[in-house]
Amino acid sequence: MFEDKNSVGIVSLKYYEIKEKIKFESGVEFGPITVAYETYGKLNENGDNAILVIHALTGDAHAAGYRSENDKKPGWWDTLIGPDKAFDTNKYFVICTNILGGCSGTTGPSSINPETGKPYGITFPVFTIEDTVAVQKKLLDYLCVKSLYSVAGGSMGGMQAIQFVISYPEMVKSAIFIATTSRLSPQAIAFNAVGRNSIISDPSWNNGDYYDKDKKPDRGLSNARMIGHITYLCEEAMYNKFGRRLQDKNHYDFNFDVDFQVESYLQHQGQIFVDRFDANSYLYITKAVDYFDPVDKYGSLTNAFNASNAKFLVISFDSDWLFPSYQSKEIVSSLMHLGKDVSYCEIKSPCGHDAFLLEYDVQSKIIKSFLSDSKGADCE
């Protein structure tokens, strides 16, 4: 049925309801919370072979396999998750959840507030990366996971992996941080701010109350996606993919329609994004990313990681200008200062920040080596 004989096959989205309220970092107590998740492989009797993989900004819980026999597109990390793959489901119980505040099954702004019978909208409380990790921990407890063999994520997923090690150091045996950072640069915060402003200034946003309206803030959300997507590429990737080639024409139109292929590409990315994502979720999740700063909260990264006895793998990409390699090296330096078991690999790639979703072969070898070898990863 599937071309990949090592596919996990057909998977289903599952749900778990946290009935009690959780106290968010802001001080707000919020609940109940429904968590959408998928699992691959089986949990062993000791409950210690689980690996939590965490999605990036606009991802979801569908990390591997197919949702149906007619599904043409597998999960977002399917090449890395499955029998005999990097995250080997013959050995490990792999878990992926949709983030708190998301729009793919986990409670978020588009969910119905049981007290009003209407979507939360912007009455949904602002949350942090620490709050998202607390929600994931509740799910792991429900699944009878006693310890994590590893926690892994790229981009925003890497931030959550960092926070998981900080919040629950006794639970995590190893951690994999890919194309991530311990805190956003002012430039990255600025891009998020422009994206949020694009949504908020769309008249159809209507102060976040648009769910029962004919018009949604599609233009604002589309523009936000276009802005964000630029940061996921790099100059080399854009030249290789588009150059200055025109879209379906041989000359300029001398108007404000689309002329260049890169314009058409960004427009397409924006259009397809509004079909699967919620504008309010974009506001909340990007704000959570902006707030993430364990350096400020704990005084330093060394203080933040001090209680952990995990071994670490940090991967960066030389063309990633959103989360450049020096930010990964700052993490590595802090771990080395503490005498932690840490491996670091910088991968050469023309794909920019998106490389963590595209450079499967080299990541697969490194991750498989790291998970199977007590001495760390082979980066050669």
Clarify whether 155 is annotated catalytic. yes
Q: 40, 77 in Cβ contact below 8 A?
A: no
Clarify whether 320 is annotated catalytic. yes
Name the one residue in this structure whose structure tokens are 């005999």: 84
Q: Provide DSSP, 105-167.
A: SS--TTSEETTTTEE-GGGSPP--HHHHHHHHHHHHHHTT--SEEEEEEETHHHHHHHHHHHH
Q: 50, 145 in Cβ contact below 8 A?
A: yes
Q: Are strands 93-97 and 87-88 parallel, antiparallel or unpaired?
A: unpaired
Sign of the Cα torsion 124, 126, 129, 133 reads negative
Identify the active-site residue in 78, 259, 320, 354: 320
3-state secondary structure of 243: coil
Identify the active-site residue in 104, 155, 308, 328: 155
Identify the active-site residue in 55, 334, 353, 369: 353
Question: For residue 107, which of 116, 94, 96, 97 has the smallest C-alpha distance?
Answer: 97
Clarify whether 353 is annotated catalytic. yes
Q: 231, 268 in Cβ contact below 8 A?
A: no
Question: For residue 159, which of 290, 64, 266 has the smallest C-alpha distance?
Answer: 290
Active-site residue set: 155, 320, 353
